[in-house]
Amino acid sequence: MKPKEVLALCREKDVKAIDLRFMDFPGIWQHFTIPVNKLAEDVFEDGLGFDGSSIRGWQAINESDMILVPQPETAVLDPFTTLPTLSMICNIQDPITREDYSRDPRNVARKSVNYLKSTGIADTAYIGPEAEFFIFDDVRFDARANEAYYHLDSIEGEWNRGRVENPNLGYKLRHKEGYFPVPPADQLMNIRNEMMQTMIDCGMDVEAQHHEVATAGQCEIDLRFQNLVRMADQMCLYKYIIKNVARKYNKTVTFMPKPLYGDNGSGMHTHVSLWKGSEPLFAGSGYAGLSEMALYAIGGLLKHAPAILAFSNPTTNSYKRLVPGYEAPVNLAYSQRNRSASCRIPMYSASPKAKRVEFRCPDPSCNPYLAFSAILMAVIDGIQNKINPGQPLDKDIYDLSPEELAEVPKTPGSLEEALSALKADHEFLLRGDVFTEDVISTWINYKSEKEVDAMRLRPHPYEFCLYYDI
């Protein structure tokens, strides 16, 4: 869509407001709104000013002015506002140099795609994430000097089998048995259908929706793969739609990787493939029908996975999902069917166009622009340097001897470990000026101070269970 077409759409749909959106550094969508009569063609070129010092991880207060430039191809009618509103995603620029801002996550994603093209390896990176989430009926939490707690509830929760609900009709999902019972056990079918249809109405290509493994409302809605920047844009809209549809039903959604103890966490298995024109480059005659290029891509992912996880699993909570001995993909190995391996090659279709690599570590707490870009840069590095991924892990991980298991590298055990890995291994991210040293150091410092240290300094409620009577 061109600027003239956006203005024509506004007239056709009697739009009254324009909502301008962008992603902050850690990964939360931000916005402000202007009357529709303030949107002229020159705004798409000149942009609009705002205070960058108030955005997490961005400008200092003495250099706070920033420019926000709407991208017409992202225009969509907002399905939730009372006043007819059209939203657009924006790029961020420096007001003096008019250069794209290095810490704008969308700019990083755009540069990663441009770098891929410059290498001659491929001209398109397709990304297909499978984001999981929980729909809860109630959430309460706080953390103070003298207390800390959280409380979650769901009509589906196993713990509510004996609750007085006037009447309690049963059909509570047992732990790890939420995949795929029909209603009435699955009590969220209608909500997910509305989420799915709202996404379709907003131009998104939805492939499926279903309940996920955990009790208490774990769900998944899958989108068809798109090019990297478009998919990152769509993941922002995906979260927006899911959260707002849930709110209509007086429910709440979280993309936290591990909100419940003792049941499955929420991942975001991310499918990756490279294409040149209409030719899929990951299909071949090698292991699991992969090309040599695809195997090298896996080599890059496995080599750089600890550093990638600083972006793809960027919360302290992420590592309560990635725990050895459970179903989480903590093994830095590849396999054509083994879901305990961090890189899996789906075997659902023999079509060369369906051949891709599924990187199973990421979770939906990530900033999609940064996570997808880090994944792509590792793939490129693997291909350029012909990184051998080693032998596949086709055995059941639970059947391996302790000696065999010890030889399989593991994902980092904490956000602190992942940030340390990023600090030691980020040269591959700097190529093509995709990530900059400024972006890397700001990310490490922000996460270390605001999250790692903030968690380390606070007593944990379970510590009282363990130690109060010492």
Q: Which residues are catalytic?
A: 51, 130, 132, 212, 220, 269, 339, 358, 360
Distances (CA, A) of 24 to 19, 53, 103, 311: 16, 11, 9, 14
How far, in Å, CA of 268 to CA of 322, rounded? 12
Instruction: Please provide the size of the chain in residues.
Output: 470
Closest CA to 63 of 94, 32, 91, 86: 94
Pseudo-torsion of CA 432, 436, 439, 441, nearest 10°? 140
Q: Which amino acid is at 144?
A: R
Distance of CA 263 to the CA centre of its chain: 20
Beta bridge partners of 65: 51
Q: Count other C-beta atoms under 10 Å from residue 312's C-beta.
A: 25
Closest CA to 388 of 308, 334, 307: 334
How far, in Å, CA of 402 to CA of 242, rounded? 42
Sole residue written with tokens 């890059």: 300
Angle of helix 292-312 relative to helix 415-424, nearest 10 degrees, comes to 120
Tokens of 296: 């090298």
Helices (H), 225-353: 228-248, 292-312
Verify cis geometry, omega within 30 degrees of 0, for the bond prior to 324. no
Verify cis geometry, omega within 30 degrees of 0, for the bond prior to 167. yes
Closest CA to 311 of 157, 444, 182, 156: 444
Q: Are 213 and 134 in contact (CB under 8 A)?
A: no
How far, in Å, CA of 111 to CA of 255, rounded? 27
Map residue 92 onto helix, strand or coil: strand
